[in-house]
Amino acid sequence: MENIVVIGGGVSGLEAAGQLARMGYSVTVAEKNEKTGGNVKNWYHLFPDRRDSKEVIDYLNKLASHPDIKILTGKEITEISSRNGKFDIKSSDGTVLEADAVIVATGFELFDSRRKEEYGYGIYDNVITSADLEKMFRSGGVRLVNGKLPEKVGFIHCVGSRDEKVGNYYCSKLCCVTAVKQAIEIKEKIPGAEIFCFYMDMRMGGPYYEELYREAQEKYGITFIRGKVSEISVNINGKLVTKAEDTLAGRPLRMELDMVVLMVGTEMPEGNIKLAERSLLKCSENRFFKPVDNHYGSNLSGKKGIFYAGCCVAQMNITESISHARAAVSEVVNYLKNR
């Protein structure tokens, strides 16, 4: 039986593995973390319908619990090399996996907010990231460090995205709608709270995103302020003094908040840049893997037998990641049948 190695056990990786196994192939999934499920397993509810992320994880686990799928966790892949139409996939622990074809589904990692020092992540209490907030939701409560409920919460969009200063020109696409979802969730848990979203553009380009945005304004009274926050400081009362220009009023604005949530963007993980270098795979200017063609060859790496699936090539939501993984499977099958 032909064996395919899938690098990455997130949404795309597990979806691709499951579909390949159903078609009669033997699959090995190499996941660098101790658990599969990628970034989604760290999320509480998903946009735009706010279903529990566990439902998606359960679906993926069920799909991947096929007798022909072997899942190896704690296995970071460092290099893919080929010889005589076969692939050697080297891991950081020194072991080598053999494969007839490879799907790279290494995904993304979240921007490290400490790089935007002016927002004080890791310096001020109560400046948290969108991922930290999801953890709070999951563990039951949104609280300040002193245990109190926040009365005023600000969301800062585009942290690590659309920002030349951190070397990321691109839009991370998933954060705008996440901010709207999280703003609604805080408002539901703390109805008296005032919530503000500081944005550069609201990019609601997905099914039901705009509807969610409208609901946030109409039903939950979330305030949207167009302007990028320049800096945050703490005053003597422990409030987070937030400075921005209210660009639609054409005036600078100053506000005191109890909690600030940084909407962190997506980045190509450092390890995957090295994987690309060692395996002679091309990366785009945004550092993500560069497929052969952005329209009709987005699963093709340019090296026969190596394919891409999901967020390792571009920002995708779960629906798009699953579709892209299925498309990668069709490329793999086509390759194996005609090689």
Partner 1 sequence: MKSNKFGFTLSEPRVIDYEANNRQIAEYIFDHEPTFRLCIECGACAATCTAGQFMTFSLRELNVLLKRGENDIPRQRIKNCMFCGKCILVCPRGVNTRGVIFHAREAFRKIEGNERF
Among 35, 55, 249, 339, the residue binding partner 1 under the rule CB under 8 A is 249
264 neighbors 279 (Cβ within 8 angstroms): no
Strand pairing category for 223-226 and 194-199? parallel
Task: Kindly tell me which residue out of 109, 112, 246, 320 binds partner 1, with binding defined by CB under 8 A.
Answer: 246
CB burial class (10 A; 0-12, 13-18, 19+) of residue 119?
buried
Least gap, CB of 234 to partner 1 (angstroms) = 15
- Do residues 97 and 301 lie in contact, with contact meaning Cβ atoms separated by under 8 Å? no
Residue 253 CB, nearest distance to partner 1 (Å)?
A: 4
Answer yes or no whether residue 235 interacts with partner 1 by CB under 8 A: no
Please report how close the Cβ of residue 256 comes to partner 1 at its closest, in angstroms: 5
DSSP 113-126: GGGSGGG-BTTBTT
Q: Which two tokens stand for residue 229?
A: 């926050």
Torsions phi, psi for 327 (to 5 deg): -65, -40
- The Cα 141–Cα 50 span in angstroms is 17
Q: Are strands 152-159 and 259-264 parallel, antiparallel or unpaired?
A: parallel
CB-nearer residue toward partner 1: 66 or 239: 239
Residue whose CB is less far from partner 1, 24 or 252: 252
Site for partner 1 in 266-285 (CB under 8 A): none
Q: Could you tell me the smallest distance in angstroms from the CB atom of residue 222 to partner 1? A: 9
- How many residues line the site for partner 1 (CB under 8 A)? 17
Q: Which of 52, 49, 51, 55 is nearest to 215 (CA)?
A: 49
Cβ proximity to partner 1, 257 vs 306, nearer residue: 257
Quick check: helix, strand or coil at residue 325?
A: helix
Candidate ranges 52-60, 122-130, 246-254, 270-278; the one touching partner 1 (CB under 8 A): 246-254
Cα separation, 302 vs 292, whole angstroms = 6
Q: Which of 148, 165, 251, 295 binds partner 1 (CB under 8 A)?
A: 251
Which C-beta is closer to partner 1: that of 25 or that of 224? 224
Q: Which of residues 242 and 301 has its CB atom nearest to partner 1 in the complex?
A: 242
Give yes or no for a contact between 197 and 257, defined as CB atoms under 8 angstroms apart: no
CA-to-CA separations, 314 to 69, 112, 174, 287, in angstroms, rounded: 26, 19, 11, 10
Question: What is the per-residue binding string for partner 1 in 189-228, x denoting contact by CB under 8 A?
Answer: -------------x-----------x--xx--x-xx-x--
Cβ pair 301, 104 in contact under 8 A: yes
* CB-based contacts of 160, cutoff 8 Å, min separation 6: 111, 112, 113, 115, 116, 166, 168, 172, 264, 265, 267
Residue 214 Cβ, how far from partner 1 at the closest point, in Å? 7
**Binding piece for partner 1, criterion CB under 8 A, among 48-56, 176-184, 245-253, 318-326:** 245-253
Q: How far is the CB of 204 from partner 1 (least distance, A)?
A: 10
Task: Tell me how far apart the alpha carbons of residues 309 and 3 are, in angstroms, rounded to a whole number.
Answer: 17
Of the candidates 248, 270, 297, 319, which one interacts with partner 1 according to CB under 8 A?
248
CB of 226 to partner 1, least distance (A): 7
Shortest distance in whole angstroms from residue 153 CB to partner 1: 14
The footprint of partner 1 (CB under 8 A) covers 202, 214, 217-218, 221, 223-224, 226, 246, 248-249, 251-256
